[in-house]
Homo-oligomer: A and B are copies of this chain.
Amino acid sequence: MILMDNNEMRHALEEELHRSFNHWVPEQDQELREILAYHMGWEGAGAGEKAQGKRIRPMLVLLSAAAAGADWRVALPAAASVEYLHNFSLIHDDIEDQDEIRRGRPTVWVKWGIAKAINAGDLMCMLGLLSLFRLEKTVSLEVSARASQILQETCAHLTRGQHLDLSYESEQILPLESYWPMVGGKTAALLACCTEMGAISAGVDEERRQAFRDFGWHLGLAFQVVDDWLGIWGDAVITGKGVGSDLVAGKKSLPILYALQKPGQFHDRWMAGPVKENDVALLTEYLEKEGAKEYTRQKADELTSQACAALEKATEYQNEAFQGLSQLTDVLLKRRS
């Protein structure tokens, strides 16, 4: 018997997202519906799969629930919930970071202005939280309440990561240690929330819940470190960004912060002012001389191993869902773009 089918999961997820949307955002609020549906990739110019993103987070919830022994369908409200929460944070982050393009389309604030975008983001946040209440029916009141608390704590954690990120923008140099709290909040917290919510939907004990959480957390950290590696050594044709794009953007990524710790050519050139495209080849060489490429690769491997170990501890049987999570881990951590 085939218990799981990714297409079926994905289809059920979109259904759950729409059910919640139609339930909580009334027809008469036409423009608000339009803004939210646009951001979700359902409507407007450029709507479609690419605009919807990969829905990695909700898939992580569903696969975790299944790996923890539940029918993944009971975790659908939690899956919808994290996807909306993620999209809420994107709407606000895009304003805060002044990003004009998201998934190949103009961002909400570019299309509707900052005021309406902030407000629509707030509604998306509520939609995320309200989506979770159906968990009272699919699982239980107790599980729904705990999932809700985890979700809200995660959201608070996201704002703390984003605040650090915003604060760091004006700094030219930062100690290496400042990297982890920022990345923890910006990326790992939400993935840890996904795997934990899947686990508690299945009613696992405290030890396994923690193992699921650890899996998501390390997966998130590893994902970001891989992203940072690609931001400098990724193939520009595949990533779609310029060569060494993080150097030009002055991003405080892991290899850059690592190299900046050491007094040397990279440090001196970085402090001398903005990096131009012409400088990228030379600065990449300096980075490598300081051992930053090696260090970043090692960190990625270390975090990937920790994620895999936590996953093995979390899942009792190496069932289909376990395979699904392993595959997802591979896709996320061995990607080239």
B-binding residues in A (CB < 8 A): 24-26, 29, 31-32, 92, 95-97, 114-116, 118-120, 122-123, 125-127, 129-130, 133, 136, 141-142, 144-145, 148-149, 152-153, 155-156, 158-160, 162-163, 166-167
Main secondary structure on A side of the interface with B: helix
In the complex, the chain B residue whose C-beta lies closest to that of A28 is: B181
Q: What distance in Å separates the Cβ of A318 from its nearest Cβ neighbour in chain B?
A: 36
Q: Which of B26, B122, B155, B162 contacts A92 (CB 8 A)?
A: B122
Known contacts A31-B167, A126-B156; 10 further A-B pairs (Cβ under 8 A):
A25-B156, A29-B160, A32-B160, A97-B115, A118-B118, A119-B159, A126-B155, A129-B129, A129-B152, A144-B145
Closest to A89 in B: B122
Tell me, in angstroms, the Cα distance from A159 to B119 when the chains sit together.
Answer: 6
A312: min CB distance to chain B, Å: 32
Q: Tell me how far the C-beta of A190 lies from the nearest C-beta in chain B, rounded to whole angstroms.
A: 13
Oligomeric state, in copies: 2
Complex CA gap A224/B268 in Å reads: 61
Contact A159 B129 (CB under 8 A): no
Complex-state Cα separation, A26 to B163, whole angstroms? 13
The answer on a CB contact under 8 Å between B123 and A32 is: no
Inter-subunit contact A159/B123 (CB<8 Å) = yes
Give the complex CA separation of A232 and B54 in angstroms. 54
A135 to B227, CA, bound (A): 42
Instruction: Tell me the bound Cα distance from A94 to B267 in angstroms.
Output: 42
- A148 to B114 CA separation, bound complex (whole angstroms): 28
Chain B's closest residue to A136 (CB) is: B145
**A32, A97, A116, A122 — most chain B CB neighbours (10 Å):** A122
A160 to B158, CA, bound (A): 25
Could you tell me if B123 and A125 are in contact, using CB atoms closer than 8 angstroms?
A: no
List 24 interface pairs A-B (beta carbons < 8 Å), by A numbering: A24-B153, A32-B159, A92-B118, A95-B115, A96-B116, A97-B115, A115-B166, A116-B166, A119-B159, A119-B163, A119-B166, A120-B159, A122-B155, A122-B158, A125-B125, A126-B156, A127-B156, A129-B129, A130-B153, A130-B156, A136-B145, A141-B141, A141-B145, A145-B148
Tell me the nearest residue of chain B to A35, going by C-beta: B163
Q: Which residues of B contact A25 (CB under 8 A)?
A: 156
The residue in chain B whose Cβ has the minimal distance to the Cβ of A116 is B166
CB distance from A19 to the nearest CB of B (A): 16
State the CA gap A155–B136 with chains docked (Å): 21
Question: Given A29-B160, A160-B29, A160-B32, A118–B133 Cβ distance below 8 Å?
Answer: no
Distance (whole angstroms) from the CB of A332 to the closest CB of chain B = 26
Decide: B114 and A92 in contact? CB cutoff 8 A: no
Report the Cα distance A8→B205, complex, angstroms.
43
User: How distant is A174 from chain B, measured CB to nearest CB, in Å?
Assistant: 15
